[in-house]
């Protein structure tokens, strides 16, 4: 059971570089989310998607872009990385509506921007 898989797990970037985090889920979930976790801040929502081809902004979207071209994949892009984007990033997914009220998380991706 793969569940929610994030790649890469670790990455070090230089300021100004770009990169993409990939999230893949094999549970046929409609909803997918990207969160970031910083010390003392809990998890904050960056962007989310309620279905293939749709995305929406969360609480802290600035500096990030996302795409959901396939139902099972949700990509998070950093076009020009900044040190403030050093964080642990979590992808999550769930079913639509009350048929599945639990959100499943990936194992996290550690990103350091120097």
Partner 1 sequence: AQTVTQSQPEMSVQEAETVTLSCTYDTSESDYYLFWYKQPPSRQMILVIRQEAYKQQNATENRFSVNFQKAAKSFSLKISDSQLGDAAMYFCAYRSAQQGGSEKLVFGKGTKLTVNP
**Site residues (vs partner 1, CB under 8 A):** 31, 33, 37, 40-45, 48, 50, 56, 58, 88, 90, 92, 94, 96-98, 101-103, 105, 107-108
Q: Which of 101, 82, 88 is nearest to 17 (CA)?
A: 82
Q: Which is nearer to partner 1, 28 or 97 (CB)?
A: 97
> To the nearest whole angstrom, how small is the minimum distance from the Cβ of residue 45 to partner 1?
6
Q: Which is nearer to partner 1, 12 or 56 (CB)?
A: 56
Cβ atoms of residues 93 and 87 within 8 Å: no
Token pair for residue 37? Answer: 């976790």
> To the nearest whole angstrom, how small is the minimum distance from the Cβ of residue 109 to partner 1?
10
Radius of gyration, alpha carbons of the chain: 13
Q: Which is nearer to partner 1, 18 or 54 (CB)?
A: 54
Which position has the token pair 């998070």? 76
> To the nearest whole angstrom, how small is the minimum distance from the Cβ of residue 16 to partner 1?
27
User: How crowded is residue 94: how many other Cβ atoms within 10 Å of its Cβ?
Assistant: 19
């Amino acid at each position: 059971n793969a569940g929610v898989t994030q790649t890469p797990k670790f990455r070090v970037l230089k300021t100004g570089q770009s990169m993409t985090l990939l999230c893949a889920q094999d549970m046929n979930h409609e909803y997918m989310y990207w969160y970031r976790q910083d010390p003392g801040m809990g998890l904050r929502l960056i962007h989310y998607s309620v279905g293939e081809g749709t995305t929406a902004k969360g609480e802290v979207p600035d500096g990030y872009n996302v795409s959901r071209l396939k139902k099972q994949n949700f990509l998070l892009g950093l076009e020009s990385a900044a040190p403030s984007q050093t964080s642990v990033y979590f992808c999550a997914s769930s079913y639509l509506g009350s048929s599945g009220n639990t959100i499943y998380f990936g194992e996290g991706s550690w990103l350091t921007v120097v």
